[in-house]
Structure 1
Amino acid sequence: MDKINWKLIQALESNGRLSFAELGKLVHLSAPAVAERVRKLEEQGVITGYGARINLEKVGIPITALVECEVYRAKEREFKDLVLGLDEVVDCYNVTGSSAFILKVAVASMSTLDVLLERLIDLSDTKTMMILSNPIKRELPLNAQEASHF
């Protein structure tokens, strides 16, 4: 990964709709040269996709929470199967520590959250934290380029 690829990745993370010409201006390359670099980053699996960021509150899903799940012994497979089928689960992280999983969930109401938690209770102890705001939202840390070895 050279500095130009890092700049391209950071620009596309901020705005995946930038044209190759606009990206070229940012990194001082022609549009075809940028297109080739982006194609290679896609083929290498560095860039895994493009998509719209949705404001959940604006579409009627105003409540987001993190749910720590301490899964009961020998219930992990059943837990994973359940979580895969829950539309309210936005992200699922397998983590170290006493809570094997942390779920990010999005729901339309507190009663919907309560129903979701009831479904988890047979397989895990849960601790729920409501998300008040998301002041930083990005995939790459700002110093990601410094952490790489090129």
Structure 2
Amino acid sequence: MSESLLSPVLDDDGAPFWRYAAEGELRIQACADCGELRFPPRPCCPHCHSFASEWRKMSGRGRVWSYVVPHPPLLPAYAAQAPYNAIVVELAEAPRIRLVGHLVSGPHEPLDSVPPDRIRIGARVQVVFTEVDGVSVPRWVLERS
């Protein structure tokens, strides 16, 4: 049996996120009544309890808030790409919104394309999108200074 990489779970609440990702856009759900951004997507605003929502386009810029380099790889399908990273990115225009992904050297580069010693908390990053098992997923590259 061949193992594959983890793929996102597509549900009704998150469907617009993945549709926009397929178009190369990073959008975050916002309450259409109070304006608060929320992630992960959900049907009701945790602030004002409204069920009205919209999807706001983000710049795709952020900072590395946290990261980990798993040793040894926890899932067999990732073993060939070790040492890889998993990062948490705080969005520039929405610091309370944090997304998990991988820091890579380019949109179609492997998960191990950035050496672990180059990853820094606070490093500026920009989103890129890569297709994984038919779904466009956000990954991150270091912002060019």
Give the TM-score category using the shorter length: under 0.3
TM-score, length-normalised on structure 2? 0.25
TM-score, length-normalised on structure 1? 0.24
Q: Which has the higher contact order (CA 8 A, sep 6+)?
A: 1
**Higher helix proportion:** 1
**Higher strand proportion:** 2
Higher alpha-carbon Rg = 1
